[in-house]
Structure 1
Amino acid sequence: MTFTMVLAWASPLLFHGVLRLVLIQGIAAALWSVVLRQPYWWIPIHLLFLPLAIAMLALQLPSWLYLSAMLLLALVFWGTVKGDVPLFLSSHAVADALAAMVERENAAAFADLGAGVGSVAVPLAERHPVMKVEAWERAPLPWLILAWRSRGLANVAVNRANLWDSDLAGYNVVFVFLSPAVMVELGDKVRREMRPGSLFISSSFPVPDWPPESVLQIADRRGTRLFCYRI
């Protein structure tokens, strides 16, 4: 914003009118995002943030709507300000692939760390009713949806707890869809706690400096890859 204000002072004709100022501010912020090599999704955020903020002010919406939106986001993305992983949803194709994998592994116990709304844990429990499925989710709203979806499944245990508090020794297969920021620490935890011969599967994000046993390409919209690590 400071960069745009300097340009506005230097070239007032270029910045005549609020809409033009907003447009140039968004473009400048997006260009700086590219220069600083931020993740690609920041580009539309920088382009749209100020125009959307002005549009919301122009609509003169009641203040309780903003409070409600903030509370909803807090319930979904609980703990991200402390470094927790945001909500990522796995596709049906990923659930199908995992169902086939746990069958080949003859798994008796499966853990989904950071289970979200149960996009993996619930379909796996439905397809393998004799397999114990434990789902770990900390955010209140996804946990509530997960608990509701799995209410009729006797083989599912839902834990509203931090995944770092889990003990991985009792699982044949552990699945995660988290973030690159935690994969080094998680890899250490997995190798320290999981039993030899068990299988650790990470969706989309590999563990640095740990060659996977195999990488499975999923034919979904995201082009998901499952990184499979044999303990």
Structure 2
Amino acid sequence: MSTLQLIFLTAIPFLATLCSSFSPEHPTDPRILVLLDDLAIRSSHSIFLNSLQSRGFDLDFKLADDPKISLHRYSQYLYDGLILFSPTVERFGGSIDLAAIMDFVDAGHDLIMGANSSASNLIREIATECGVDFDEDPGAMVIDHISYAVSDTDGNLTLIASAEFIQSEVLWGSKKIEAPVLLWGIGHSSNTTIMCWVSWMVIVLLSLRLDWIWCISFEHCGVSLESKTTI
């Protein structure tokens, strides 16, 4: 199983019309399909997954190559959201493929995806369709020569500390995040033409070792992103 490194998508700063369909505090569409590279991810990422379940989301865990998985039955969608924690999958099982996932998102459903430097071509294609291109060099990391964490001892400036992210009760709840967030992640670029009609939700995964994660929904539009950084 490929290790999912810690990643956090944020904007420093950014303005956005945030989607409400995947509210972490008050879920209204609770049935979520979670596709995994390995079922061990349920344990290694239990903090994040348990936090969703504690808020009322019904998570259906499946291996990404399960031959029986499907997003719909008889033209009716079975899930309200999709979580892809399967960065190395080359081909999904069942009836799920790139087109099926994009149709699912286009229909107003939500997508959360985690990836790392070992992301497969399929995962890269999904990201590209949503307006994000991962660097072709799997070793390319985000570097900040100013806001790097001084405690980072390797000297490569890839561990970034930032306290500049949107303050939103929709995303974070009522408790304010006081300490800086450590960011570390793979290099990527964004297609602003596509992203202008994608709603982005920032997901905090502290201590979960994810490399790149984001949530999108096409149900609410009007997004303006000035910049973003990953961990």
State the TM-score, normalized to the length of structure 2.
Answer: 0.37
State the TM-score, normalized to the length of structure 1.
Answer: 0.37
Q: Write 1 or 2 for the structure with the bigger share of helix.
A: 1
* Bigger relative contact order, structure 1 or 2 (CA pairs below 8 A, ≥6 apart): 2
Which of the pair has more CA radius of gyration?
1
